Amino acid sequence: MDTQQIPFKVTAARFVRAVRIFMTSEVGRQARMMFAGLVALFLALSSLNVVNSYVGRNFMTAIANREMAEFIRQAIFYIGVFAAFTVVAVVARFTEERLALLWREFLTRRAINLYLTDGTYYHLGVSGQLTYPDQRIAEDMRAFTVTTLSFILMVLNSGLTIVAFSGVLWSISPLLFVVAIMYAACGSYLTIALGRPLIKLNYDQLDKEASFRSGLIQVRENAESIMLARYEEPQALRLSQRLEEVVANFRKITAINRNVGFFTTGYNWLIQIIPALLIAPAYMRGDIDFGVITQSGAAFAMLVGAFSLIITQFQSLSSFAAVVARLSSLMEAIEQAQRSVRSGIEIVEEEGRLAYEQLTLLSSADGHPLVKELSISIPAGARVLITGSAEAARVALFRATAGVSFNGSGRIVHPGSGEILFLPQRPYLPASTLRQILVRNERADEIPDEHIIQLLRELNLGQIVEQAGGLHVEKDWEMLLSLEAQQLLALVNIHLAAPRFAFLDRIDTTLGPERFHKIMRMLSENSITVINNAETVALRDCHDAVLEFGEDGGWTWTVKGA
């Protein structure tokens, strides 16, 4: 999906929806109170700015008139205003940061829940319709919440400044007021015209940075394999190419920033001299006090600054527009994945039963049948061997039973997710403590550490506990352990979870016959029905039933003693 083609109205609607969801959520009341506090604080800041302009005018007039008593009095007022301004500004900034953090936490948790529901993360990866969702959830979500709140408050502050200083500037010079509006309007138009390409360039930059970082992560996660294969040179070339893309795109960004910078820098310098050019003649004629010149300069700068929000914040706005577009595409992709039409295979949950009814699985490559009209029911408590020369059919059955979408027809009946566990050939062991890996269900509090350690020793895994420094020390297990040890830990997890069914995928070649038989016996003694997709045909004797697949998708089902 070309995420940059998402219409502006859709992006804007999602932006408004994100704000509304946050404000009506369980933390919405707290958020509304914090935002109301911010509005009050910004009103106070705007009022202090107006007061400060008059105090500054009187202060400079006292200096010009050489009035020492008035000078001291206005200096005291000046210090008081600055002190109050400091307190209010610091509290406002603190409240803004806390509100942004609250919003980020809420939206990120919500995005994670949506991303991990119903295998959405898997379907997004398979479809390839979205690049780097991890970065969008982590970095873009942070930028979105912080920048959105910052811009909302900037607009609020600009509105208050316009209201407060329009009267001040009009009272000094109606001409200066009109010049301020026209100057800001022309400046905003020219800035947008010069900087429009930045939105797409910033969008691309985020993707290219993510691609480069992803390449570095892949090197770290596959360090041993890369070293053994002597694959350092191709990896270096690949990373260099991604870095070149990052640098080339950023060069374009800096070129646009240079052009915008020439204009905005000159624009900001002229703000300082325009009021003096228009007001100084009146002072020279004796129509106004000297302090009015400084007050007009401050009021003009405040008013033009308020009208020139696009100019002063254009680079941030262009980056923000890219972030909003990326998050909009993330939510669009998640919603599409969740409402996408699944295969023609019907999945039915039925307590205590695993069966296949007229199940046909088709190859995603060329559509030829891997499994043809499979109709069997797995006997409870049995040990079932899935074998045969058609490895693709055996793997497809494992994946389809686990919930991976396949083209085909028929029906799969299986128990709820808590009653069936799957062990792929390469298990996933997240970075966590050993206990968290081995005990991951509601029975966690019922299983003492001593029982876990005893079970590990029975499988000759006691050294892992010593290597980890105990059951409660977090480690990166995929880097630390061999594939065999990872599979054994996953099997211990299944044994402790005690589901009704366990589906194992090609673990026999790694574990060896003796250890495999021991595992099968342990699972059976725990009343777990074991379905084993195995490479070794010699395992027939230790199974109660055999499902054998042929290359044409045909199958035979044999029950021992039948």
Residue keyed to tokens 């002063």: 312
For residue 361, the Cα-to-chain-centroid distance in whole angstroms is 34
Is the pLDDT confidence value at 43 over 80? yes
Q: What is the pLDDT at residue 531?
A: 93
Q: Which residue has the higher pLDDT, 549 or 139?
A: 549
* Residue in 429, 545, 437 with CA at minimum distance from that of residue 495: 437
Whether the predicted pLDDT of 192 surpasses 60: yes
Residues 30/102, Cβ–Cβ less than 8 Å:
yes
Residue 312 has pLDDT above 70, yes or no: no
Work out the percent of the chain whose per-residue pLDDT is above 70: 90
Candidate from 39-43, 233-237, 267-271, 411-415 with smallest mean pLDDT: 267-271
User: Would you state the pLDDT for residue 1?
Assistant: 43
- pLDDT-derived band of residue 5, with 50, 70 and 90 as boundaries? very low
pLDDT 10s digits, 319-358: 677 677 777 777 777 767 665 545 578 888 888 899 999 9
Identify which has the larger pLDDT, 311 or 234: 234
Instruction: Print burial letters for 227-245: b (CB count within 10 Å at least 16), e (below 16).
Output: eeeeeeeebeeebeebeeb
The token pair at 460 is: 């000759």
The H-assigned helical ranges of 6-67 are 8-23, 28-64
Residue 170 host element (H or E): helix 141-172
Domains and CATH numbers, the chain: 8-341 (1.20.1560.10), 346-429+481-559 (3.40.50.300)
Token pair 């206990």 is found at 435
- Give per-residue pLDDT as tens, 63-106: 888 888 888 988 898 899 889 989 998 999 899 889 988 988 88
- Residue 2 has a pLDDT of 42
pLDDT of residue 125: 64
Classify 555 as helix, strand or coil: strand
**pLDDT confidence of residue 376:** 93
Quick one: pLDDT band at residue 126, thresholds 50, 70, 90? low
User: Quick one: 33 exposed, middle or buried, by C-beta within 10 A (0-12, 13-18, 19+)?
Assistant: exposed
Q: In what order do the strands lie in the sheet with 555-559?
A: 420-423, 501-505, 529-533, 383-388, 545-549, 555-559
**Environment class of 295 (CB within 10 Å of its CB; exposed 0-12, middle 13-18, buried 19+):** buried
- The confidence score (pLDDT) of residue 342 equals 53
Average the pLDDT over each of 14-18, 424-428, 460-464 and give the range with the smallest value.
Answer: 14-18
Q: How large is the average pLDDT for residues 198-209?
A: 82
Q: What pLDDT sits at residue 197?
A: 84
The count of other CB atoms within 10 Å of the CB of residue 301 is 18
Name the strand (E) or helix (H) holding 348: strand 346-349
